[in-house]
Structure 1
Amino acid sequence: MQTLNRYLTPILHELERFMQCYPLSNEHQIIKHLQTQKISPFETFSLADSKDLFNAHFLCMHALYQLKKQYQLSQKYRLVISAIQIQRITINEVKALSESSPTSLDSTDPLESYYLNSKHYFDTQKAQIEGMLTSFWQKYLAQDEKNAALAVLNLPANADAKMVKTRYLQLVQKHHPDKGGSNQAFNKIQQAKTVLDKAF
């Protein structure tokens, strides 16, 4: 089985240096730093290429989860890894946060086993990566459309199907052209309801 061990030592060393300076950062900042420092193989990745982007992402996350394990063993720091930020906190900060919110830092990370399995780095093909990217963008755009439709109906982001239906009926009554409303406003409400019907 292929491993990523040949890359890990310099990556982990540089990650440790980076986290000392920037205990709160994100994956993009880390990858850019590793590229700037010419840490192998990051200096060879072109982030415009989907396979290189996947490899940079996977290798960065793999190394972060390895560092997280090292921190757990040393019991000096805790590494919190999420989609939007990477944060290194001291054990004392962990204790203080745990007391104020007991479940926030103790939850298991379902992605950890994925990123610690180097098989995914070597076996994931370009077509699979393209599929993942397409799926991501479809979900991202669908979320944008949903938010825009909720705004048309003047509903909060956490609105459910029942709230949508109730608000839709209120607005249709108010803006229906047969009741003196505007065709344009009525059509906008109809389109928003169509989008939201797909979302729920």
Structure 2
Amino acid sequence: MNTTFDPALDLTEHLLALLRQTPAGLSEHQIIRQLKDGHCSHIPQLPLSDKLVLFRIHFMLFNALYRLRDRLWAERSAHLEISPLRVRLLSYQDGQQGLTEHDPLRAYYLDEAHLRDTSEADVAHLLQSFWTRMHGGEEQQAALELFGLEARTDYPAIRLRYRQLVSQHHPDRGGSTSRLQSINKAMEILERYYNRG
């Protein structure tokens, strides 16, 4: 798709046009690439290898996406699913989507002070924090899978499942020592994640 964008239009209008042309949705990277290729005046023609430039483009994009989602919801015309991996338009439906809970990401991206006040050092810190969480998140997910639990399980349920597994796999009851060690290691990871260790 090769679109040229009208500089008089707001970024939300450009996004709406792109998303209407692609019902399956687009990733954040695809949206940025199409906006840059179409010479959208809202996206600077600067190298994305610069972390501060990339952060600012990312911020402007998500600010516009959250504003568009609010507008579409108020018009009762569509629901906008927003994530870095896929942004897509969905049909409007009354009900669960209409329940307004506090959305920390929406609050962050709609506060333009974050765009103005974030320095290159702040971006470096955000990236380091992201990769630390990603690594820890993979460990946590693997530990929960070993326990046969879902990601949103609370700590008391994890503790109960741990006791059940230890009882079931203890060598004194015919279980395997290596399996018990895996269960204990998984519990250490989960305690660290839940700040109980």
CA 1:119/1:174 → structure 2, altered by over 3 Å: closer, same or farther? closer
Q: Which runs of 5+ in 2 are unaligned?
A: 1-6
Q: Which amino acid aligns with 1:139?
A: R
CA 1:27/1:175 → structure 2, altered by over 3 Å: closer, same or farther? same
Q: Does 1:54 align with 2:55?
A: yes
Alignment partner, residue 104 of structure 1: 97
Contact 2:162-2:187 at 8 Å conserved across structures: yes
Q: Normalized against structure 1, the TM-score is what? A: 0.71
Q: Which runs of 5+ in 1 are unaligned?
A: 1-6
Q: Does 1:187 align with 2:181?
A: yes
Q: Secondary structure at the match of 2:98?
A: coil
Q: Percent identity?
A: 29
Q: Does 1:136 align with 2:135?
A: no
Alignment partner, residue 30 of structure 2: 29
Q: Secondary structure at the match of 2:97?
A: coil
Q: Measure, in 2, the Cα distance between the counterparts of 1:8 and 1:140.
A: 39
Count of aligned residue pairs for this structure pair: 184
Q: Measure, in 1, the Cα distance between the counterparts of 2:142 and 2:70.
A: 42
Q: Secondary structure at the match of 2:151?
A: coil
Q: Secondary structure at the match of 1:43?
A: coil
Alignment partner, residue 19 of structure 2: 19
Structure with more helix by fraction: 1
Q: How big is the shift at 1:21?
A: 0.7
Alignment partner, residue 64 of structure 1: 65
Q: Secondary structure at the match of 2:192?
A: helix
- Note the aligned Cα RMSD (angstroms): 3.2
Q: How big is the shift at 1:54?
A: 0.6
Contact 1:45-1:56 at 8 Å conserved across structures: no
Q: Normalized against structure 2, the TM-score is what? A: 0.71
The partner residue of 1:43 within 30, 42, 45 is 45
- String of CA shifts for 1:86-137, please: whole Å, max 9, x gaps: 3345xxx42xx11xxx241352655445434444323210111122222222
Q: How big is the shift at 1:81?
A: 4.8
Structure of higher CA gyration radius: 1
CA 1:64/1:193 → structure 2, altered by over 3 Å: closer, same or farther? closer
